[in-house]
A and B are shown apart, each in its own frame.
Chain A
Amino acid sequence: MATATATAPGPRVRARRWFAGFASRETWAAFAFLSPWLFGFVVFTAGPMIASLILSFTDYSVIQTTHNVGWDNYNRLVHDPKVTTAMKTTLIYTAMVVPAHVVFSLGLAMVLARVGRAAGFFRTAFYLPVMTPAVAVGVLYLLMFNGDYGLINAGLHFFGIHGPYWTTDPNWVKPSLVIMHLWKVGASVVILLAALMAVPTYLYEASAMDGASKWRRFRDVTLPMISPAIFFIVIINTIAALQTFDEVYTAFFNASTPYGTDASLFYVIYLFQEAFVNFHMGYASALAWGLFLVIAVITAIQVIGSRRFVYYEGNKR
């Protein structure tokens, strides 16, 4: 890399360099590499996204003729009590599930990292719930979290704790969904496992020689070295948690268990109902873009926060 110059280049120089960038061979090569994505992005992604943005200003219902309604949908969104409830539920759930997910998957990865021969079996075992289709997990949810007769409370009873009514008590529905979600940390465990194994061992040896305790080794060596992977998982899972749909829908909103309450009304579930059950596609599109804004803001905050908490060796990013 070029050494730092005595004075930073002025704006005109920078602008000229930026435009010059378009002409360089590297740029052409880059765009050549990008071309598959660019094409698909424009046709299959940007196109539909823009379409849904336009639709959010209409009363599109698929079946009837569409009319422009201006800002009506967004107006309704801001005043809709269900939106407030749904957003609150989703945000609280996200705040609970992401830390739980990270801590639990990291813990599992650390346990797994020590396994010797039968490692493959255990890794597959932890990934198993991710592969099991939702049908089985949904059925089991009601069975395991049953307040009086379920396995979870039976286990808690063993320790003398009187477990709550997970599925019916509004205060405990979200925690129960968090616990059910933790079944599916398999993918994160795989990624964290790779990161853990890539930590250079000489760092551990060095810190051991310096007399550091196990906890300090973890805090000062392991965590910073895998912080990039942890951060990746935080970003991905936050975006996913804010869009939670499948698990909750199977448990609370499918036809045979119509017991969804405000405590389990997640944002995307409300969106889905508005889109496909009530035929308010235009409003659903407005809801989607509202969520997009929230996700974008939260992700941006996380990225900015990463500059302080995520460590890159060589301090280059």
Chain B
Amino acid sequence: MTAPQGPLTATGEGVGLPVPPIPPAVPPAGRWYQFPSAAGVVGRTAYLALLTFLTAIFIYPFLWAVSASLKPREEVFDNRLIPKHWHPSNYLDIFRGIPDIATGVPFGRWFFNSIYIGILAALTVTISSAIVAFAFAYFRFPLRNFFFGCVLATMMLPGAVTMIPVYLIWNKLHLTGTQYPLWASNLFASAFYVFLLRQFFLGIPRELFEAARMDGDNYWTMFWRIAMPLAKPALIVTAVFEFKSSWTDLIKPLIYLRDDNQFTIPRGLYNLLGVLGPSAGGHGDYQIVIAGTVLATLPMIVIFFLGQRYFIEGIATQGRKG
């Protein structure tokens, strides 16, 4: 049995930051993961009970929201998990409005906006952060640690105080009032993902790169053909996390978007909340807002479900490939 290739972190020195290990070159025997087996029926039942209990706690808020979204206005907060009266027309009311209380909103348009802005944000940040992270992981160059320190430092200043200066920059570029500020800064990588992806790249044995270079690859091909496929799980995590981040962001659409048709879902729901509030003459039709919230969460669930499967399988496949 040859020694595992593991995390030979030739370039990880300096800043002294951690490296999650890459699966070993030697495929483990049998199943692709193996833990000491649970002790008998009692152990297994206890384990299942624990799992069910935890799952129940975690999905309760979402179940509550789904149930509330199907109730008529008077019953939204009655704390019953199964609605007493079913009112699925709430979902239609989002689009067509409640006559005389609120006009319908272009939810479909918001949905579409959120989707393509999310995709753009996720794709751009994944690719750009990977490029930058690879630089920090593989190359040796002066000021490398200083720059990486800068990367970390950008996460340490609360965004509230850079919000206005950043807005002014976009303003100078005449891009306020458009959707560009919502995703375009991802073209320049994001500190969090640079950190994450750097760790992954650090785990790739340097020998692989040396071999590629000797075969005549230049740096770019080496990056694209060797490093990227190996880091696929991390790239998927990055894409999914950033998609979620963009999907649920409220503050950027709030200050950059001016036209209703440009809104993303959180921005639209914020508006609905204001319109349906009681002092504006409405009755507090929260059931519509909650229905909108549920609709907004569904695509995220699908994307995460698909993404996590790919990501976990990616880890498994790497283990087998070696």
Contact = CB atoms under 8 A, between A and B. Distances in A.
B253 interface: no
Interface stretch (A3-11, A111-119, A165-173): A111-119
B180 interface: no
Given A194-B311, A228-B199, A312-B19, A271 B62 contact: no
| Candidate in B128, B135, B161, B319 with the most chain A CB atoms within 10 angstroms | B161
A133 interface: yes
A34 B144 CA distance: 10
Residues of B contacting A: mostly: helix
Contacts of B199: 228, 232
Contacts of A156: none
Interface string B214-242: 00000100010000000001000100010
B199 to A, nearest CB: 7
A202 B185 contact: no
B160 A115 contact: no
Nearest to B192: A236
Interface residues of A, number: 112
Nearest to A222: B35
B26 A202 contact: yes
A133 B269 contact: yes
A312 B161 contact: no
Contact of B188 (A37, A275, A299): A37
Given A111-B51, A317-B9, 15 more contacts: A26-B139, A41-B151, A46-B150, A47-B165, A119-B312, A120-B308, A122-B51, A128-B59, A132-B61, A132-B293, A194-B315, A195-B21, A229-B20, A245-B160, A313-B21
30 contacts: A1-B10, A37-B189, A37-B194, A46-B150, A48-B165, A48-B169, A114-B35, A127-B304, A128-B58, A132-B62, A134-B248, A183-B57, A183-B58, A186-B58, A198-B20, A200-B28, A202-B4, A202-B26, A227-B18, A272-B160, A276-B160, A287-B161, A288-B161, A295-B156, A304-B16, A306-B18, A314-B7, A316-B12, A317-B13, A317-B16
Interface of A: 1, 18-19, 21-22, 24, 26-27, 29-34, 36-37, 39-41, 43-49, 51-52, 55, 62, 108, 111, 113-115, 119-120, 122-137, 140, 143, 183, 186-187, 190-191, 193-202, 204-205, 208, 214, 217, 225-229, 231-232, 236, 239, 243, 245, 268, 271-272, 275-276, 281, 284-285, 287-289, 291-292, 295-296, 299, 303-304, 306-307, 310, 312-314, 316-317
